[in-house]
Amino acid sequence: MKKINWKRFMFRLGIVMMVIGAIIMFAKPFADYLRIETISKELSDKYGLVIRFGDPSEFHLPPFTVRTNSEEFNIEKAEKSCVLTALEGVKSALAKYPPALVKKYLSAVFVSGEIKSYGVKCGGTYLNSWIYVTTSPAYNRLGSKHYEETLHHELSSLFLYGPGLKIILHEPNATEFYGSNFPATKWHSANRPGFRYLERQIDVIHAAGKFRKPKDAPLWYKDGFVSDYGMTSIENDLNTYAEVAMEHPAKLKELAEKYPRIAAKTRLFMEFYTSLAPEMADYFKSVGLDKIQDTGQQISANGL
């Protein structure tokens, strides 16, 4: 029996393990890269979208340019490891809308790292017909669902202001949106009597992230808000309804059955979305939101 040279054997085994390790190390990033390119092409082919996730200075489309390193608007580059999860969320979220509706309102999705507006961190934002999706390792740990919520949140703002490239100015207590038929007056009426959102947009920006304790949720539910962030402006109110309706419809249905003001706003939300694309009624029916009763007259009569 030939004697084994253990020293040589262990050396060769070490080489093999190093090669295997190198293959594993580089295989996942390469596979992720291919998946990123595939999803980007799918979104481009299906919706006509421009997808960018590299240099933030390129996060704009002609005829506009955007300063992405100012106090007003500062964007960091996304970590490579975060891009795939974000794009998977974007793809999944957009699949819930008719392609023609997406094409009409959205022209680009920019996947970034940290975004700050006047020093305040943003989970995402929009400008013109573009959506900026903020990524981070912490957000990635929440899964693609987090990025789906971000997409729904920001897309509802584009629906609110109407299609086309434009610089958007808005007022927290607006009662009319000239670019859409959003029922702002009825939406205000679903709030408790005397309620007003914050008065200035800069106050709305600085209110982001300053949430109350979850145990206080029944207080804002009763007043018709699915999140206390929605109490900062009528736009943020719509944004938070979009998140819940499109990603957590069972939760919204449960809240609407208990809180008449949430039921009223949910009906208004669905009416608005189906006015943009009648096909949205199929989604609301598939998740059971169409069964929510219209409590608008009940609120007006009883002042709930």
- The pLDDT of 51-80, averaged and rounded, is 84
pLDDT of 213 over the 70 cut: no
Cis peptide before 63 (omega within 30 of 0): yes
Label the pairing between strands 50-52 and 108-112. Answer: parallel
Query: Rounded distance, CA 123 to CA 102, Å?
Result: 21
pLDDT of 170 over the 90 cut: no
Instruction: Please state which of the ranges 7-21, 150-164, 182-196, 215-229 shows the lowest mean pLDDT.
Output: 7-21
Q: Residue 202's pLDDT is what?
A: 76
The DSSP 8-state label assigned to residue 77 in this structure reads P
Q: Is 162 left (phi over 0), alpha (psi -120 to 50) or beta?
A: left
Which residues, other chains included, contact 129 with Cβ-Cβ below 8 Å and sequence gap of 6+?
A: 105, 106, 107, 108, 158, 163, 164, 165
Side-chain-side CA neighbours of residue 25 (13 Å): 6
- The pLDDT of 163-189, averaged and rounded, is 82
Residue pair 6/14 in contact (Cβ under 8 Å)? The answer is: no
Which is more confidently placed, 197 or 293?
A: 197
Q: Residue 200's pLDDT is what?
A: 81
pLDDT of 162 over the 50 cut: yes
Which is more confidently placed, 203 or 302?
A: 203
User: pTM for this one?
Assistant: 0.87
Which is more confidently placed, 171 or 211?
A: 171
Query: Rounded distance, CA 208 to CA 122, Å?
Result: 8
Mean pLDDT, the chain, as a whole number? 86
Nearest CA to 221 out of 203, 205, 212 is that of 212
- The pLDDT of 208-227, averaged and rounded, is 81
Report the share of the chain in percent with pLDDT over 90.
59
